[in-house]
A = this chain, B = another copy of it.
Amino acid sequence: MNNNLYTLTEKIDKDLLENNLSETEKEELAKEIKEFLPKNSIVLAQINPTSGDIKGNAKKALKWIEWANRLELSAIIFPEMYLIGYPIGDFIDRFPIIVEENIEWLQALATKTTKTKVLMGFVEFNKSKQGKKYYNSIAVMSNGKIEKTIRKTLLPNYAEFNDYRHFEPAKTDSKNRIIDIADKKAGIIVCEDGWNDFDFFEKNLYETDPVECVVNEQHPDYLINCSSSITRAKKEQLKHNMLSFAAKKHKTPIVYVNQVGSGECVSFEGASRVYDENGNLTYMAQSYAEQFFIVDVNDKDGKINPLPKGLEKTLTEQKAFSLDHEPDLERTYLTIIQSIKDYFKKTGFKRAVLGLSGGLDSTVSAVLLSDALGAKNVFGISMPSKITSQESKNDAKELANNLGINFTEIPIKEMCDTTREKFDNLFSTIEKDWDVRYKESFTNDNIQARSRGMILWGVANEFQACLPIATSDKSELYMGYATINGDMSGGFAPLADVSKTKLFALARWLNKNREQKNAIPESIIAKRPGAELAINPKTGKPLLAEEALMPYEFLDEVIWRVENLQQTIGDMLQEEFLYEKHMRKENSPVSKEQKLEWLQKFFRRMSTSLYKWTIMPPSPIVDARSINKAEYKQPIISSKINYHKTSYEQKLKELG
C-alpha cells in the first residue's frame, strides 16, 4: 500500500474544501503526487452535491476534474445523478428547466475535459414518443466532448426510492456500457443495476441482471458502479456481501463510487471501494467525508479506510433484536451529524434553538446540534412549568455548561396561567352547546408543551437563520406520545428515527467517545424518562413515560419486529421478548394478559398516531426501516384497523 500517496492526496481534499492552494502550489503538489502514482490510476470522486443546485454542483465538479487533469489520471468517476443532485423528487417534472440546465452545464463541463475520462451522473431527456420523460444517465466525457451516455436499467421504487416514478428504464445494451479507460475495458453500471444477482438474492425484484449481461456479453476487465446508495442500519452488511459475491462470481473487479452527504431525510455515507476478481476488498474510501480517492484496480494491497467503529460487527451480528446497540452507534452519530450539517447548510440556516428539559431527548439533541453546528450556534432554553423538578432544571443547566452552548431559563408559568384562564371561560361556554367534554383530558399537558413551542418559534422568527428543533424520538412517535405544535414541532427533528433504548446507549457512547468526556450529566441518563407535563395520581410524582406507555425495552422490540419482520400481534404472542426473558430471570415474569394488553395498546396508539407522522418536520432516516414520510406512507384513514387476524370460520360467521 502506497502511504505517501494518501498523505499527499489529503492536501487535495483540503484544497477542494477550502481552496487553500495557489496555482503554483497545485502544480508542485501534482508533481510530487505523480511520483507515487501507479500507472493508469483512476479517481473516485466521493462528493456531496446539493439537489437542484446545478450551477453550484458544476462549479464544484470542475475543481475536481481540474485536479484529475493535472495528475493526468486515466479517469475521474462521479456518483449517480451528481450534477442535478440525488434525490431530486418531482422537481424535475414540474420544472423541466432544471433538466435543460443540467444538460447545458454538462456540455459546458465537457469543454474542460482532457484525455482524462470523466464519468458523471445527470438526468437525460427521453426523446422517444413512448415512456417517461427522463433517463437516469451517466455521461462519459473526454477531449472536450461528451462521448456517450449510459442509461440506468433497474429503477428502485421502494422505501425512500422513487426512481421509476421519474425515469424510463433503459434496455441493458451491454455493448454501449463498455468504455476504454487506459486500454482496459470498463463496464459501467448504475447503482441498482448492480443489485439483482440471481444467485445472491433469494427473491429478485427484476427480470434482468445487467451485471451478468455486461460480463457475459462483453467480458470487461472490470466494472464501475456509479451509485447514490443510502446508509441504513445493517445495509453495509448486505452491500459488502453482495459486491464481494458478484466480483468473485464474475471473476471481475468492481469499482463502486458512492455519493456522500445528506439530502433532507436520506444520507449517503461514501465508503466508495474496490473489490478484486476474488471478491476481496482492496480499497475503501472514508465514510462521511468528501474524498478525492485514487485507486489502482490491479493493486491487491490498496488503501482501506476503516468503516465507522463497530460497524464491521454488524456484518455478522444483530440478526435478532438486541439491546446491544453499540455496533451501530458511531454510524448513527455520523449520520445524524451529517444530516444536521447538510440540512442547515443546504437550506441556508446556521443556528438552532431548542428546549432543554433535562430529559434524554433534548439532551442528546443538544449534543448532536452542538457537534454539527458549533456550540455558539446553539441556544438551549430551559422552560420550567410548575411540574418541572429542580433536578431537571439543574440537569439542563449543567448540560449546557458542559457543552458550552448558549443557555437561559424562562419559566412558562404566566403563559400557562393566562391560557388556562382563557380556556376555563371558553370551555364553559362551549360545554353549553357541546355536551361531550372529556372527564380527563390532555389539555393541561399540552398547554405546557405548546407554550414552549411558541417560545422556540418566536426565537426563530426574531433571530436570523435560526431553526427550532423538534426533539421527539422514534419510540414516542410510534405511541403518539408527542404534542402537536409542542415538542414534535420544529424545523428539524434529529432523533425521529432513533428508539429510546438506542438513545440511552447513544448518550453513554457520546460520554465515552466525544473528545470532551462525560458532557451529559449521569443523572440525566440514570433517571427514568417522563414528560413532566402531568402528575401521576397514584404516585403523586410526575408521570413517567413507561407508566403511560409500557416498558421501553418491550416497546422497542415491538417496533423492531413490526419494521423488520412485519409481525402481527399473533406472531409476537408466540415468541419470547428480550424483556420477558429478563423479567423471567428476575422471577417476575410478564403474564400473557399483560403482554397482550401492551401489544393491543401499541397497535391502537400507533393507529391514531399516523396523522402525527405526516406533519413531522424533516428528520434523518437512520434505522433499517423508519416511519419517516420520505420512506413510509400509510393512509391516516386506516387508523381504525384491527391488527388481529381472524380465522376463516369467524369470517364466514360475520357474513352470516
Contacts and interface: CB of A to CB of B under 8 A. Distances in A.
Contacts of A55: 642, 646, 651, 654
A412 B421 CA distance: 11
B430 A379 contact: yes
Contacts of A50: 637-638, 640
A394 to B, nearest CB: 19
25 contacts: A53-B641, A55-B651, A55-B654, A94-B562, A94-B566, A94-B625, A97-B566, A101-B645, A108-B652, A108-B655, A131-B206, A131-B207, A157-B164, A264-B636, A343-B637, A410-B422, A412-B422, A414-B421, A430-B462, A436-B464, A436-B466, A438-B461, A450-B454, A454-B454, A615-B617
Interface in A306-349: 342-343, 346-348
Contacts of A654: 55, 58-59, 108
Contacts of A464: 436-438
Contacts of A461: 438, 441-443, 446
B204 A130 contact: yes
A200 interface: no
Contacts of A264: 635-637
A254 B454 CA distance: 57
Nearest to A467: B611
Nearest to A425: B410
B205 A131 contact: yes
Nearest to A381: B426
A176 interface: no
Contact of A423 (B263, B458, B489, B651): B458
Contact of A347 (B204, B616, B637, B655): B637
A380 to B, nearest CB: 11
Contacts of A235: none
A183 interface: no
Interface string A20-33: 00000000000000
B89 A633 contact: yes
Contact of A98 (B111, B459, B641): B641
A635 B438 contact: no
Contact of A455 (B426, B640, B645): B426
Contacts of A551: none
Nearest to A203: B129
Contacts of A130: 203-207
Interface in A149-203: 157-158, 164-165, 202-203
Nearest to A442: B461
Interface in A623-656: 625, 629, 632-643, 645-646, 648, 651-652, 654-656
Contacts of A165: 157-158, 164
A405 to B, nearest CB: 9
Interface string A570-591: 0000000000000000000000
A487 B346 CA distance: 27
A100 interface: yes
A94 B205 contact: no
Interface string A465-489: 1100000000000000000110001
Interface residues of A, number: 130
A637 B203 CA distance: 35
B463 A458 contact: no
A515 interface: no
Interface in A87-128: 87-91, 93-98, 100-101, 104-105, 107-109, 111-112
A390 interface: no
Contacts of A511: none
Nearest to A62: B655
Contact of A433 (B58, B158, B379, B437): B379
A408 interface: yes
Interface in A396-427: 406, 408, 410, 412, 414-415, 418-419, 421-423, 425-427
* A62, A165, A342, A639: most-surrounded residue (chain B CB, <10 A): A165
A613 to B, nearest CB: 11
Nearest to A641: B52
Given A562-B94, A639-B347, A645-B97, A434 B463 contact: yes
B346 A637 contact: yes
Given A59-B655, A618-B636, A458 B462 contact: no
Nearest to A55: B654
A298 B427 CA distance: 62
A611 B52 CA distance: 16
A588 B441 CA distance: 58
B651 A104 contact: yes
A45 to B, nearest CB: 17
Contacts of A59: 654-655
A536 to B, nearest CB: 19
A21 B220 CA distance: 75
A429 interface: yes
B438 A462 contact: yes
A563 interface: yes
A257 interface: no
Nearest to A648: B104
A367 interface: no
Given A415-B415, A615-B617, 15 more contacts: A50-B637, A58-B651, A89-B634, A90-B633, A90-B634, A91-B634, A91-B638, A97-B643, A108-B652, A130-B207, A347-B636, A381-B426, A427-B459, A434-B463, A447-B458
Contacts of A109: 655
A429 B415 contact: no
A369 to B, nearest CB: 14
A192 to B, nearest CB: 14
